[in-house]
Amino acid sequence: MKVLFIGDVYGKPGRTILLEQLDNLKNEYKPNLIVVNAENSSNNGRGITKSFYKQLMSAGVSCVTMGNHVWGNNELLEFIDESHIVRPANFYNAPGKGYDIIRYNDKTLLVINLLGRTYMNANLENPFFMAEKIIEEHNATFSLIDFHAEATSEKVALGHYLDGKASAVVGTHTHVPTADERQLTGGTLYITDVGMTGPLDGVIGVDKKIVVDRFLYGHSRPNEVAETKNQLNAVILDFEKKTIKRINVIQ
């Protein structure tokens, strides 16, 4: 089974390049299933709209994962229970589900979304135990963990903890792709962060002047999505061949 995983879609620029490039990615990499992290896909970079979710499904996306901005657009509450949207599993009580099982021919893919706790929200269930529990409870052919976390150390640690238990652990959230894609010693495919799909020349998607001024002067104005040329970051995972490859497309 080959799975295309696309990193955090940020604002209108991310939506635009994703929908423009998806057919090209399908033709080149021939994935069986497509998973997209879309927790930043609304116009302000927070949450997801129903209209974009429908566009993703119509374009052939199999499952959508989220993150710390999952509830950034309240519209999601109206349709999450009937969707293939996976919110972080380690929320204590929340609408929707923390995992999805997708069938392809005679095989199944278990997709789990988790939030890290370091430098984020500590009021979460332990993502290490939560991931292990969900994997053990579902006898899926393959499993893919989207670990939405700030600290690289927490991501690497989860990869090693699930090595040999999960088919793949991919990191999201920091919006900067890492160059450490590899197969761990127990066979799990791993990358610390897939990167962002959205503005190339902002600061992790935000207008660069806003963020630079924030560091220079200590004052701030609300984030605005950068208007620059766009990029798409993704990985293609082959669970039979045990390979993971980074993909970077620049508009």
Mean pLDDT by 10-residue block, N- to C-terminus, for the chain (251 residues)? 97 96 98 98 94 97 97 95 96 94 97 96 91 97 98 98 98 97 98 97 91 89 88 98 97 85
Which tokens sit at 192? 């610390």
pTM passes above 0.75: yes
Phi and psi, residue 189, nearest 5°: -80, 140
pLDDT at 226: 85
The 3-class SS string of the chain reads CEEEEECCEEHHHHHHHHHHHHHHHHHHHCCCEEEEECCECCCCCCCCCHHHHHHHHHCCCCEEECCCCCCCCHHHHHCHHHCCEECCCCCCCCCCECEEEEEECCEEEEEEEEECCCCCCCCCCCHHHHHHHHHHHCCCCEEEEEEECCCHHHHHHHHHHCECCECEEEEECCCCCCCCCEECCCCCEEECCCCCEEECCCECCECHHHHHHHHHHCCCCCCCECCCCEEEEEEEEECCCCEEEEEEEEC
8 Å CB contact between 170 and 180: no
Are 173 and 156 within 8 A, CB to CB? Answer: no
Q: Which amino acid is at 45?
A: G
CATH number at residue 40: 3.60.21.10
The token pair at 2 is: 């080959």
Positions annotated as catalytic residues are: 69
Total count of domains within the chain: 1
Give the gyration radius of the chain's Cα atoms.
17
What pLDDT is attached to residue 91?
A: 94
Query: Which structure tokens are listed for 214?
Result: 């924030």
What is the pLDDT, as a whole number, of residue 221? 84
The whole-number pLDDT of residue 177 equals: 97
- Whole-number pLDDT of residue 123: 85
Range of the domain at 149: 2-250
Tell me what pLDDT residue 218 has. 87
The per-residue pLDDT for 53 is: 98
Task: Provide the residue type at 210 as one letter.
Answer: I
Q: Compute how many other C-beta atoms are within 10 angstroms of the C-beta atom of residue 246.
A: 17
Cα separation, 146 vs 37, whole angstroms: 8
Structure tokens at 246: 């980074």
